[in-house]
């Protein structure tokens, strides 16, 4: 069963008369219980894709201008604001890179968590809410939960805050969890714990996950399928094993080479893709990756490639090294 279908999604930055395309037709589908990775360098449009689904784009500066979002069979873009709010936090939720952005710094954590229940489960008694909250915190491995609920966000470590956010995001057992680089700001050892936690809990609950990251390596142990984004479009989409064994798009290969490998002798130089993601307002004719691509031909400069068998490239397959 499809949980989320993103169809030809377009998002523009709008400034008076000017508008700049940021997402240029994103297509992605997530099935129930599936974990889909959304990978790509910074600036490729991953966060905007997540925010579009949540209905949290920073309007009016950034606007959804085209395409379709269908969540559990329900079209989202035509849904009234209130109905959309009802979905957020209950049926779909999002965990951000920096939990401080999602927490109110002057309010105790417990109060913020219980507000979620006030909005979505007003029928529950305070005692029952408290019991469920303590359970949710214990599920994410927060010890001494009673005391933690009395804390202000700044009194908690980064790892603990992120655990709290995950508890909050999963408290009402959403059908879809969007994780936007949830471990990027954490220490390496804590990162692994938080990833384990997300994987364990979402598998147990059967929650579908859209896991956004700039690091393909993180997805190896987490995702069933990966979509690779570049310049506001998805350029490749494969099941995780196929992607790692036979990346088709030269951009995916580049991303793959930039994963640090612990099983290899240290390299003198990390293989990284030369150049940068084009600025949104930079017009690039043809394939947006062609200025950085070793395989680019005259065709790539003229004709934008369409997605075919999971890859949008005129010369998919073998790497030219
Ligand atoms: N509020 C905004 N106003 C204008 N441009 C934006 C805004 N937010 C993001 N962008 C632009 O949209 C593009 C995609 O951004 P984003 O989705 O945050 O990328 P990612 O999460 O992959 O790093 C970038 O070029 C970024 O500069
Ligand atoms: Mg981002």
pLDDT, averaged in runs of 10, over the chain (321 residues): 96 93 97 97 96 96 98 96 94 92 90 93 95 93 93 93 94 96 90 94 97 93 96 96 95 86 50 74 86 93 95 82 41
Q: How many CB atoms lie within 10 A of CB 118?
A: 12
Ligand 1 pocket mutation pick from 280, 282, 284 by most atoms within 8 angstroms of CB: 280
Q: How many A from CA of 213 to the centre of ligand 2?
A: 8
For the chain, the domain total comes to 1
Question: Is the C-beta atom of 228 inside 6 A of ligand 1?
Answer: no
Give me the pLDDT at residue 266, please. Answer: 46
| Alpha-carbon distances of 87 from 74, 185, 217, 262, rounded to whole Å | 11, 28, 31, 41
74 three-state secondary structure: strand
- The answer to whether residue 90 is domain-embedded is no
Q: Name residues whose C-beta falls within 8 Å of residue 111's C-beta, 6 or more positions apart in sequence.
A: none
Separation CA 88–CA 99 (nearest Å): 17
- The answer to whether residue 161 is domain-embedded is yes
Q: How many A from CA of 276 to the centre of ligand 2?
A: 16
User: Please, are residues 135 and 149 in contact by the beta-carbon 8 Å criterion?
Assistant: no
- The answer to whether residue 63 is domain-embedded is no
Separation CA 110–CA 281 (nearest Å): 43
- The answer to whether residue 121 is domain-embedded is yes
Question: Is the C-beta atom of 47 inside 6 A of ligand 1?
Answer: yes
Q: How many CB atoms lie within 10 A of CB 290?
A: 23
Question: Is the C-beta atom of 21 inside 6 A of ligand 1?
Answer: no
Ligand 1 pocket mutation pick from 45, 61, 276 by most atoms within 8 angstroms of CB: 45
- The answer to whether residue 59 is domain-embedded is no
- The answer to whether residue 297 is domain-embedded is no
Determine the straight-line distance between the first and last CA of the chain, rounded to whole angstroms. 41
Nearest atom within ligand 1 for CA of residue 11: 12
Q: Quick one: CA dihedral 307, 10, 227, 277, positive or negative?
A: positive
Separation CA 95–CA 169 (nearest Å): 7
Q: How many CB atoms lie within 10 A of CB 279?
A: 11
Question: Is the C-beta atom of 74 inside 6 A of ligand 1?
Answer: no
Ligand 1 pocket mutation pick from 12, 26, 47, 232 by most atoms within 8 angstroms of CB: 47
Give me the pLDDT at residue 270, please. Answer: 46
Give me the pLDDT at residue 278, please. Answer: 76
Separation CA 230–CA 308 (nearest Å): 16
- The answer to whether residue 273 is domain-embedded is no
What does the block give as tokens for 83? 């109905």
Residue with tokens 């809410």: 129
User: Please, are residues 65 and 77 in contact by the beta-carbon 8 Å criterion?
Assistant: no
What does the block give as tokens for 313? 């490239």
Question: SS3 helix, strand, coil % of the chain, rounded to 5?
Answer: 35, 25, 40
Show the domain range for 122: 108-168
Measured at the CA of 225, the angle between CA 320 and CA 243, to 5 degrees, comes to 20
Give me the pLDDT at residue 320, please. Answer: 44
Question: Is the C-beta atom of 62 inside 6 A of ligand 1?
Answer: yes
Give me the pLDDT at residue 318, please. Answer: 63
- Ligand closest to CA 19: 1
Give me the pLDDT at residue 267, please. Answer: 45
């Amino acid at each position: 069963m499809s949980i989320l279908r993103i169809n030809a999604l377009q998002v523009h930055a709008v400034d008076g008369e000017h508008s700049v395309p940021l997402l240029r037709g994103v297509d992605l589908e997530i099935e129930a219980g599936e974990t889909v990775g959304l990978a790509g360098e910074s600036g490729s449009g991953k966060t905007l894709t997540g925010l579009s689904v949540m209905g949290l784009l920073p309007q009016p500066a950034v606007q959804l201008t085209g395409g379709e979002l269908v969540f559990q069979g329900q079209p989202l873009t035509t849904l009234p604001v209130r109905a959309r709010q009802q979905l957020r936090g209950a049926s779909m939720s999002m965990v951000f890179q920096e939990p401080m952005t999602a927490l109110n710094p002057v309010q105790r954590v417990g109060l913020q968590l219980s507000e979620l229940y006030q909005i979505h489960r007003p029928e529950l008694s305070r005692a029952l809410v408290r019991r469920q909250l303590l359970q949710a915190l214990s599920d994410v491995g927060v010890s001494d939960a009673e005391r933690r609920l009395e804390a202000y966000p700044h009194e908690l470590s980064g790892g603990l805050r992120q655990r709290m956010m995950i508890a909050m995001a999963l408290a009402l057992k959403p059908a879809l969890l969007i994780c936007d680089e949830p471990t990027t700001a954490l220490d390496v050892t804590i990162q692994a714990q938080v990833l384990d936690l997300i994987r364990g809990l979402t598998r147990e609950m059967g929650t579908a996950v859209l896991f956004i990251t700039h690091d393909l390596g993180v997805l190896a142990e987490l995702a069933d399928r990966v979509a690779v984004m570049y310049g506001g479009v998805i350029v490749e989409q494969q099941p995780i094993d196929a992607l790692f064994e036979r990346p088709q798009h030269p951009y995916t290969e580049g991303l793959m080479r930039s994963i640090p490998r612990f099983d290899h002798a240290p390299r003198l130089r990390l293989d990284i893709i030369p150049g940068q993601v084009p600025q949104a307002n930079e017009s690039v004719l043809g394939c947006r990756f062609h200025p950085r691509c070793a395989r680019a031909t005259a065709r790539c400069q003229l004709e934008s490639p369409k997605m075919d068998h999971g890859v949008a490239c005129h010369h998919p397959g073998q790497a030219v090294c």
